[in-house]
């Protein structure tokens, strides 16, 4: 029950918030996300996968510069798939 509540308030909520934004950007012709919810999930995991796993399983946190690099490459990859 606790895990389900955490998931609903955390990742699932973020997926839907991103999907709402991506749908608006698609309506404006700035993105091509025919199904915005998977796009939201893709984007969040592109940004978070490595830093999150590292935070959970490594004693050393990611340096800020590395976090910026992950974010930049995530945006680049996302736009290659969903950009117009």
Domain extents for the chain? Answer: 2-82
Between the ranges 20-24, 46-50, 54-58, 60-64, where is the mean pLDDT highest? Answer: 20-24
Indicate if the pLDDT at residue 75 is higher than 90.
yes
Indicate if the pLDDT at residue 50 is higher than 90.
no
Residue 58, Ramachandran bin (φ over 0: left; ψ between -120 and 50: alpha; else beta): beta
Using CA atoms of 9, 72, 63, 8 in order, give the dihedral in degrees to the nearest 10: 10
Tokens 């830093």 locate to 51
Hey, is 58 helix, strand or coil? Answer: coil
Residue 55 pLDDT class (50, 70, 90 cuts): confident
Query: Tell me, what's the pLDDT at 64?
Result: 92
Indicate if the pLDDT at residue 60 is higher than 90.
no
> Of 47, 39, 49, which Cα lies nearest the Cα of 73?
47
Instruction: Tell me which CATH code domain 2-82 carries.
Output: 1.10.357.10
> Of 44, 40, 19, 25, which Cα lies nearest the Cα of 84?
25
């Amino acid at each position: 029950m606790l895990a389900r509540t955490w998931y609903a308030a955390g990742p699932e909520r973020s997926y839907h918030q991103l999907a709402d934004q991506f749908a608006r950007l698609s309506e404006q012709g700035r993105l091509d996300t025919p199904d915005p919810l998977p796009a939201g999930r893709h984007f969040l995991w592109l940004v978070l996968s490595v830093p999150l796993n590292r935070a959970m399983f490594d004693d050393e946190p990611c340096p800020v510069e590395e976090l910026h690099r992950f974010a930049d490459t995530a945006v680049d990859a996302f736009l290659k798939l969903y950009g117009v």
